[in-house]
Amino acid sequence: MIDEMKNSFFDYKDVLFESKKYLLVYLIFITVTGLSTISKKNILYPKLEIATFVLVAILGIICILYYFKHNSEEELYKVAFVSIVCFGLICALLVPICGVSDELEHLTRSEITSEGVILPHWTGYDIGVDSLYNHTENEKTSSIINEGAGYRTIGSMGFFESVYDEEVTIQATPHDTDKINYTPMIQNSAFEQNPFYGYLPQAIGILIAKFLDLNVIWILWLGRICNLIFYAGLVSIAIKKVPYLKIPLLSVACIPVAVCQAASVSIDSMIFGLGILAIAYFIYLCQLKENSIDIKEIAIFSAICLLLGLCKLPYLAFVFLLLFIPSDKLKNDKNMTLYIILCIAAVGAIGVMWSGFSTNTLAHSWRSKYNLINSTQQLSLLYNQPSFILEFFNKIFGEEVVTMVFGFFNFYGSDKASYTDHYTLITTLIQLFLIFTLILYPTDAKFSMKTKIGALLVLLIVYVGTDFIQLLTWARVGRTNLGTSLRYFIPLLGLIPIIIHTNRLKPDKRIDNYSIIIIIGFMAALILAFATKYY
């Protein structure tokens, strides 16, 4: 026992010696990025900010030492899991109550799921999505937003609703220590169109909070934490499975926007995790030996795409990647092509059926009630006014692209856009880092032109399809206010190394080492930014 402890001590001593220059780079990195987030109030009252800096410095050092202790491609998945959980956990506790986009609605659906309800039941009068546009505000208020119209949940949701959109931290409210209130209440929206499994991790966290009779804030915190752990698990599985491009995929998974969403109760966590897993599995299939892909592999990939696509319908298009696997990788079976077509058809058919259900449920959302949505009239405009089509494409390939390019470190709504200017340095560093890891990172992976073109087509289908759905289900008639942001397209970034990757740099372990340092550094910068903004 004593000998084992001595050996462990000397092992970490060697690791510390090996990683000391990287630890110094990390500390310099978080010092510079941390200073770029501060404002006058942080200088006047710096205690919490200093404490947060010390915390992320220690966490980062632990993660870096853990990486050098497991410094091999075969064990990188462990580093991915530990790093995401360490920094995501602090994010989950630091972000204001329901401070992530649409988090109150996601929390409501998570609580309903924790009650064992697979399909939430709408208690109001359903008049359909398109009919909403033909009602005046007074009529809508009286006929749709009537007493009792919504989804049955527990009274504690009233606490979260009372602080929603106000960026309230637990320091600013005394009610976070209240006990869970089980009195029934009605919430007006609960993402009825989303599949229940997208909220299972959050529901487990809420069940734990209820079972242990914790304070009400733990409904949110444990929901966030369990969602985060599940996301870290999906990412680690993806990193373990993919034979090449591990660092590029990990860099996508750890983009601050992705970590922030993963550390919330949003279904985005499931979408990002499944999206990265799908891309990792596709790369795995493309790099297998000749005549090695059988129906089992095809079925597994199709199932991942189906689970992903039901969470966000345009991502069903990921299943088309099956058509662009090099044909020599497929098992020498004349029926393999038929199996692929059948899998694609099955995923598409289930997606169409789910789309029919989810479209009808949109009438129950506050988005339909207040945005004056009418998909029929919007389609009519597209058909009869070619200029509106041009306006739409100009929007999604112009203004929207610019917004996303500058959205890598933007966690707030448009009404709080002034905060994005404060993070110009970090945003620029993220952009440069992603250009390197997604396009220039040295790898032995090789993709055929067929695979590259296929990945590009799928990327465009998902991108345009997402915006088109937003045009019909979010934008007002005659407008292109799509309401999208970078978080809608995080998984698509994982396709970039397949499409335009260059192999001009020689593999070097130091590149991997510095990449991990920077990935951890950006997650630390996320925590520092939240500390300086909210506290």
More confident call, 249 vs 411: 249
- Considering the entire predicted model, what is its pTM? 0.91
Averaged pLDDT, 310-319:
96
- Bridge partners of 187, per DSSP, are 151
The beta-strand segments (E) located in 309-373 are none
Of 432, 407, 434, the closest CA to residue 419 belongs to 407
pLDDT at 140: 39
Of 317, 120, 306, the closest CA to residue 203 belongs to 120
Other CB atoms within 10 A of residue 350 CB: 14
Cα 305 to Cα 385: distance, rounded to the nearest angstrom = 35
Ordered by start, the domain boundaries in the chain are: 15-94+511-535, 95-504
Show the tokens assigned to 362. 């949109």
pLDDT at 40: 83
- Residue 174 burial (CB < 10 Å; 0-12/13-18/19+)? exposed
DSSP one-letter code for 151 = E
What length does the chain have? 535
Which segment of 38-47, 250-259, 291-300 scores lowest on mean pLDDT?
Answer: 38-47
Cα 144 to Cα 150: distance, rounded to the nearest angstrom = 9
pLDDT at 371: 54
Averaged pLDDT, 480-489:
89
Cα 312 to Cα 334: distance, rounded to the nearest angstrom = 33
pLDDT in tens, 146-186: 445 789 999 999 999 988 877 888 888 888 899 999 999 99
Could you tell me if 435 and 501 are in contact, meaning their C-beta atoms sit under 8 angstroms apart?
no
- Bridge partners of 184, per DSSP, are 154
More confident call, 390 vs 6: 390
Rg (CA), the chain: 24
